[in-house]
Amino acid sequence: MQRSIEYITKLTSIPSPTGFTKDVMDYIMSELKSMGLEPYKTPKGNVMVTLKGEKEGGERLVTAHCDTLGAMVKKILPSGRIMFDLIGGFTYNSIENDNVIIHTRSGKKITGTILLNHSSVHVYRDAGTLERNQNNMEVRVDEVTKSEEDTRKLGIEVGDFISFDPKTIVTESGFIKSRHLDDKASAGIILSILKKYTEEKIAPKVTTHFAFSCYEEIGHGMNSNIPENVVEYMAVDMGAIGENLTTDEYVVSICVKDSSGPYNYELRHHLIDLCEENKIPYAVDIYPYYGSDASGALTAGYDIKHGLFGAGIESSHAYERTHEKAVEATFNLLDKYLRSDLVD
């Protein structure tokens, strides 16, 4: 558990909005090499590594994504502040007053804060009611800048990436609060599993390819470069929590359907059986506004069984929270899945 949480904390600390993931992928490459493994990067930037199984035949692919929501400089305003464009599915109200980093092309990092352009209640009567949208929100830059020219002199230009302060906190009561638990919680769990298997010389039942993808938040993270013998594809991603769902922050959530349609029926029952046989706390749910790397692979034309599970994550795409119990349950289900045989 402690190792998983340490990985999660480290991963959330590395800025990686979709399209700006080199640093986090380099960290994963380095960590996998330190385990004695031989990872490699695909041309897209995904990181893959393989563990040979006990038996020959069909293979598995297990994936988590390391790209996150973020933003990009859209326009430098006459005031010197920045209009931004979102990367991924943030709601504007969820990022108001967040601290950010602007990553310039030269490598310089400049901090700032996302604010409503009518933020002062002492000046604007509509500070509480003005719609939070792209036209009404901006980044206040933490440098002396009073004009577009001043901001450009800092090296900031259109297209520069903007990352969000993850505000990662692990409480004494076992909660993990952070942005980007979607899906760095799962990536941390997979790294922890790989560390365990390499240290204890454990082999999965069948040869398994582990993929850390970097374009999931915009829909095409790990839908290519899938080895030809793969017959099962398991996305380890966040479990959604909310009205009319059964998942909470203390279980592993098994998704049976999302906006892409149902997940594989036999594989779903295999996951449930593993939970029940091993007393792993779980929930089964339908996520209404959701897609995964696994569903993206099917859309790309791969003929595979696809499944999805992950730790229950509260307030997804906002300031997210989960509990160590959900991390533990997800770790245990992944462990039991890797040690089990393929689904007929």
Active site residues: 216
103 annotated ligand binder: no
122 annotated ligand binder: no
CB distance 209 to 297 below 8 Å: no
Q: What span, in angstroms and rounded, lies between the C-alpha atoms of 18 and 38?
A: 25
Q: What span, in angstroms and rounded, lies between the C-alpha atoms of 243 and 246?
A: 8
317 annotated ligand binder: yes
CB distance 82 to 157 below 8 Å: no
270 annotated ligand binder: no
Helices (H) and strands (E) in the chain, counts: 8, 19
Which of 252, 308, 245, 249 minimizes the C-alpha distance to 275? 252
Question: 118: buried, middle or exposed (CB in 10 Å: 19+, 13-18, 0-12)?
Answer: middle
CB distance 118 to 127 below 8 Å: yes
Alpha carbons within 13 A on the beta-carbon side of 15: 18
Q: What span, in angstroms and rounded, lies between the C-alpha atoms of 46 and 82?
A: 31
Locus of tokens 């990436």: 161
Q: Dihedral of CA 309/312/314/318: which sign? A: negative
Which of 232, 184, 193, 181 minimizes the C-alpha distance to 212? 184
- Angle made by CA atoms 257, 338, 253, in degrees to the nearest 5: 30
182 annotated ligand binder: yes
Q: What span, in angstroms and rounded, lies between the C-alpha atoms of 190 and 11?
A: 12
Question: From the annotation, which residues make up the binding site?
Answer: 65, 182, 217, 237, 317
Question: From the annotation, which residues make up the binding site for Zn(2+)?
Answer: 65, 182, 217, 237, 317
